[in-house]
Amino acid sequence: MGAFTNLATLGLNFALAQQAARQESGEINRERDRQIRDIQARNEEERRRQQEALRRRLAAQRARAGAAGVGGGGSAQAVLRGLTEEAEAAQQASDDAAGARIADLRRRASQARERNLLDLAGDATRSTLGAFGGGLSRRSLLDF
């Protein structure tokens, strides 16, 4: 009868550990998603500020070119195009950095979930050995 009690206890402990692992995995996912939303919001705000700054710089450059009498000239257009390309390159760099941060968050969340599963498997193995091996007196090198 003792073996059945041990099996029932083992099953219950394993089910509880699985539930805890699922909850922790959900918490990891929610935190990852929150951080991703924060990164995306900051990136969007930075994009908005850069676009506003570009509009002001373009307007100022057009005003200077108009005051100098070269408003429609090729050199004025080249300067405006250069400012636009510079702003686009800066935005692309910002987007790339945000993408790298998001990828890193996803990688770390995945690793955390994998660690949780490994911990769950290790706990289940130790419980099984304890239930059927007469206790935890047998240790492996991996336990240290």
pLDDT by position in tens, the chain (length 144): 555 566 677 677 777 777 777 888 888 889 999 999 999 999 999 999 999 999 999 999 988 888 887 766 788 889 899 999 999 999 999 999 999 999 999 999 888 878 776 676 666 666 555 555 544 445 554 554
**What does the pLDDT read at residue 4?**
58
**What does the pLDDT read at residue 135?**
46
Residue 85 lies in a domain: yes
Q: Rounded to two decimals, what is the model's pTM?
A: 0.64
Residue 98 lies in a domain: yes
Residue 144 lies in a domain: no
**What does the pLDDT read at residue 40?**
95
Q: Look up the domain containing 116 and give its range.
A: 2-135
- Name every residue whose Cβ is closer than 8 Å to that of residue 129 and which is 6 or more positions away in sequence: 136, 138
Residue 46 lies in a domain: yes
Residue 142 lies in a domain: no
Q: Which tokens hold the place of 102?
A: 């998001």
Cα 52-56-59 angle, rounded to 5 deg: 135
Number of C-beta neighbours around residue 97 at 10 A: 13
Can you give the length of the chain in residues? Answer: 144
Residue 130 lies in a domain: yes
Structural domain count, the chain: 1
Residue 141 lies in a domain: no
**What span, in angstroms and rounded, lies between the C-alpha atoms of 23 and 4?**
29
Residue 31 lies in a domain: yes
**What span, in angstroms and rounded, lies between the C-alpha atoms of 14 and 103?**
32
Alpha-carbon dihedral of residues 139, 141, 142, 144, nearest 10 degrees? 80
